[in-house]
Chain A
């Protein structure tokens, strides 16, 4: 297998989506495909390659319905005005979509079927309905038998389809408390705010000019959902987001967001030939299926697989990016794998930065690569839980 490197990474800021009042979303009047079409050519430019050299473009999107249909990924090629010779495809692995895109690109290059692959991720959760709204609007029509027929009852679809309920169920199977989750959320906001103040994210966010609800033009360059001034008390006051008596709140869950992200993968030889200094080398990938009613455990087996393939122990990993779809997911992963919490989500996690589903996977791996560069560690592991009961993970090694 050939070595595959991360030659470039760029994303938009992650705005905070509000499907019932999109006027408050900085990207409420911009489609996800438009965001991605801004990032793609800019990343090409910054990476010093020519778009025509890209052997494949793979885009991840969790809700590829309505205005997020991609025409097999080709809309992104058209919108970015890339040459038509660049092939494209769409990957949907829900919250793992763009990490799955990285995995596919990795395999294409590792098996010598491509030299340069661009991967992308996008989601605008203000503009494309989610959950029940998707079915109400007719954009999605899951088979009703899954919800009604006795032979499918064991899938517990009412819980399986509601991420908040799966998180609550996971919480109930651990010793963690509401306070533990709120504390982790507070940490996430504080670290993210610190990273913003120190300019860390400026290195990966492409500023985007976009018209706001009041007609003004705003340059969006920071993640909208980060609240550095939040307190444990404020978080503790929040009501349960899903069911009465539950502990999962809006404060200890990731918000809904809009963003796009992109990454360029190359064979080590191609990067060398072009004189590009990569951010990191992909050492292994992992994916696993778990009980869908506690989908938040997904990162645990996925990371174990990836570590095994890389021949590494948990202790060898210097930094972790664990997607905080819910704080309980990160807490559970840290505990189950025996991770030093100080090594996880050091620039804040999804609770603060956000989780624009299709764009998240690249954000996790990209940020991890940059953390390794900045802080000087050797190995990093990024992982995410996935609705429907899955987990994905990627192990990378910093390029010295």
Chain B
């Protein structure tokens, strides 16, 4: 029977008995249901077509297959249809592996997730130089579901497979070849011819098809003894290292209980474990975060607006933030100018920029000579603002002083070209006020980077009152170019992220003042998944800084934000954290110990107010703090600071280390239920006062049963 040749997402070419199937499902050859169906139909057809003796499967563009369609998995809420769907895919790969004709994977681009699993079921694998191969499922709370946990160890050994599967980190084609995952690494232009040559070796029986079926590669299978030992040890590590994430443990279980001689039973078990993961809140949250990250910055407000092309960027200020931002500009290929007030400041700035490259150089991701040539070609320095006159974008990160900033912008406004975008990296000052000195305030926007700018994924983009849509569109495009996740919010004290984070952790003072043990709060918050507890973070960022931000909130946002008397007392100790040698903790010894001064202040406060130590559960602590944070998010939505729950959650995940597997504050709120949140807030308002007064939005949601997310 002749095979079908006209597919929508697949080009078929048959020459000398070899069918070359080129997958073409832009943008990334994602395995949608329809696309998978076409691949299956083509391969099955080729198996039945007497003219075809061998099959070469390859892709077009930068990807071989970049994994499954996560949206489809996200939507499925019941096990039965999910199991059936994954089982169908797994069965098809079993048929490919056991098929009557050799299937050669010519891996032209990244082969990830289901893409690599497809390649694993093929009989020979060639990869283009530099492409990446991996099973990144755990990063979205899943595990491989179509045989990946059973076939990968057969090719590269259990230990290497465990590493790849439990971290989700891909390997390059070169590494894959050294481990036995691919048979040949080829220059991209020679890939398909080399795959055809491999196919001919099968046809001439130089290579035996049976010996190339991955399931029959027994010699790297561990013995039951070592499998048990390795799986137990890996599980113990995963439980400690990936607290809250279930997928690594499930992946280990798939391997630990599998890797027997009955691969199909083992794959069935893998699918069950896959379903356990996929239906969990953790996976839904991680997949949601992944999908929202892709959609971040795609606002209706800027739809259809063509962003301006940015070539030259001037960075004002080479301090900690400035040097991190210059790092990003250089690695993204921009012509960059660093401005500072003096040669001395510039020299310090340059040293600081070089320092940001220490890590990639140490890790051999960049050569020192390449850095120097990048600096030579792309970066110049100046103390003259006039050098910014032909810039496409100016980013300012100078002293956090309204007058200083306004002065600089006024000067630049005088001679810069009219399209230049003026961006400030201020973390606290009202951008609308900064922009008020410009002829066209529509050109000003806030680009709030987080420290270290070259590493943190979040870029908070703040629209001032008059920021134009064009300025916003160009800024969002710029964020994408420098590989940041852009979250767009409106101007207001602390913008979104600082206000949200300070409120989340700020709830702790009410608990401490109520007799709850501070140490328990620290542990509970960390157990919840935050990278640091409130005291630890305050000590790191500076108790005085936090105090001043709270003072600004008090002044600008009203009575609700009145600073807690205990916060005042702690501030008055003069212990501002690590920078002064002590804060909540004393850092003068080998390891931090509670700072006696602060402990005494707290004890005295409790004594003076007749408060005795209070026993509460960790959950009670988290509920109180989260209720306050959710309420603050609602208040910010009401005030118009932000309106997209998915962006707000991404900001907390990427900017504040909120545990990704919990999906974000608003995802957490939806899970908790608005009525429960409201009830908790009422209880806390009665106990602690107006800071906890439920926002009108929360009350309304509690009544209507509405959620922040509509999915």
Contact = CB atoms under 8 A, between A and B. Distances in A.
Q: Is the interface of A mostly helix, strand, loop or mixed?
A: loop
Contact of B225 (A23, A34, A127, A136): A34
A22 interface: yes
A22 B226 CA distance: 17
Given A23-B261, A213-B262, A31 B219 contact: no
A390 to B, nearest CB: 27
B224 interface: yes
B225 A30 contact: yes
A128 interface: yes
B223 A30 contact: yes
B218 A213 contact: no
B226 A31 contact: yes
Contacts of A23: 261-262
Contacts of B260: 29, 213, 215
Interface in A94-141: 126-129, 133, 136-137
Nearest to A126: B218
A66 B219 contact: yes
A29 B223 CA distance: 5
A213 B211 CA distance: 20
Interface string B223-263: 11110000000000000000000000000000000001110
Nearest to A210: B224
B223 A31 contact: yes
Interface residues of B, number: 12
A20 interface: yes
A22 B262 CA distance: 11
Given A22-B261, A23-B261, A213-B261, A137 B219 contact: yes
Contacts of B216: 20
A348 to B, nearest CB: 28
A31 B260 CA distance: 14
Nearest to A138: B180
| Residue in A21, A29, A213 with the greatest tally of chain B CB atoms within 10 Å | A29
A22 B218 CA distance: 8
Contacts of A30: 223-225
Contacts of A137: 219
Contacts of B218: 19, 22, 126-127
**Max chain A C-beta neighbours (<10 A), residue from B218, B221, B223, B260:** B223
B13 to A, nearest CB: 31
A225 B123 CA distance: 33
A19 B221 CA distance: 12
A128 B219 contact: yes
Nearest to B259: A29
A286 interface: no
A218 to B, nearest CB: 12
A42 interface: no
A211 interface: yes
Dominant secondary structure of chain B at its interface with chain A: loop
Contacts of B211: 136
Interface string B76-115: 0000000000000000000000000000000000000000
Interface in A25-40: 28-31, 34
Interface residues of A, number: 23
A307 B216 CA distance: 47
Contacts of A213: 260-262
Contacts of A21: 261
Given A213-B261, A213-B262, A29 B224 contact: yes
Contacts of B219: 66-67, 127-129, 133, 137
Given A20-B216, A129-B219, A31 B262 contact: no
Nearest to B210: A20
B261 A211 contact: no
Contacts of A215: 260
Contacts of A133: 219
Interface in B239-293: 260-262
Interface string B24-56: 000000000000000000000000000000000
B206 to A, nearest CB: 12
Nearest to A27: B223
A67 B226 CA distance: 11
A133 B208 CA distance: 12
A215 B258 CA distance: 11
Nearest to B228: A211
A155 to B, nearest CB: 25
Contacts of A127: 218-219, 221, 223
B621 to A, nearest CB: 46
Nearest to B211: A136
Contacts of A34: 223, 225-226
Contacts of B224: 29-30, 210-211
Contacts of A67: 219, 223
A39 to B, nearest CB: 14
A126 B219 CA distance: 8
Interface in A210-224: 210-211, 213, 215
A192 to B, nearest CB: 27
Given A19-B218, A20-B216, A66-B219, A28 B225 contact: no
A255 to B, nearest CB: 18
A136 B226 CA distance: 25
A126 B223 CA distance: 11
Nearest to A37: B225
Nearest to B226: A31
Nearest to A124: B223
A129 B218 CA distance: 9
A115 to B, nearest CB: 33
A326 to B, nearest CB: 26
Nearest to B217: A137
A140 to B, nearest CB: 12
Contacts of A211: 224
Contacts of B226: 31, 34
Nearest to A128: B219
A127 B227 CA distance: 14
A30 B260 CA distance: 12
A129 B219 CA distance: 7
Nearest to A35: B223
B90 to A, nearest CB: 21
B155 to A, nearest CB: 11
Nearest to A18: B218
From B211, B216, B219, B221, residue with most partner A Cβ within 10 Å: B219
Nearest to A127: B219
B261 A31 contact: no
A213 B259 CA distance: 11
Nearest to B261: A23
A213 B218 CA distance: 13
A96 B216 CA distance: 30
A258 B312 CA distance: 70
A217 to B, nearest CB: 10
A137 B211 CA distance: 11
A215 B216 CA distance: 19
B229 to A, nearest CB: 11
Nearest to A137: B219
B399 to A, nearest CB: 62
Contacts of B225: 30-31, 34
A211 B225 CA distance: 9
A209 B305 CA distance: 72
The 4 closest A-B pairs by CB, nearest first: A23-B261, A31-B223, A29-B224, A213-B261
26 contacts: A19-B218, A21-B261, A22-B218, A23-B261, A23-B262, A28-B261, A29-B223, A29-B260, A29-B261, A30-B223, A30-B225, A31-B223, A31-B226, A34-B223, A34-B225, A34-B226, A66-B219, A67-B219, A67-B223, A126-B218, A127-B218, A127-B221, A129-B219, A136-B211, A210-B224, A213-B260
Interface of B: 211, 216, 218-219, 221, 223-226, 260-262
Interface of A: 19-23, 28-31, 34, 66-67, 126-129, 133, 136-137, 210-211, 213, 215
Given A21-B261, A22-B261, A213-B260, 8 more contacts: A19-B218, A20-B216, A23-B261, A23-B262, A29-B224, A34-B225, A128-B219, A213-B262
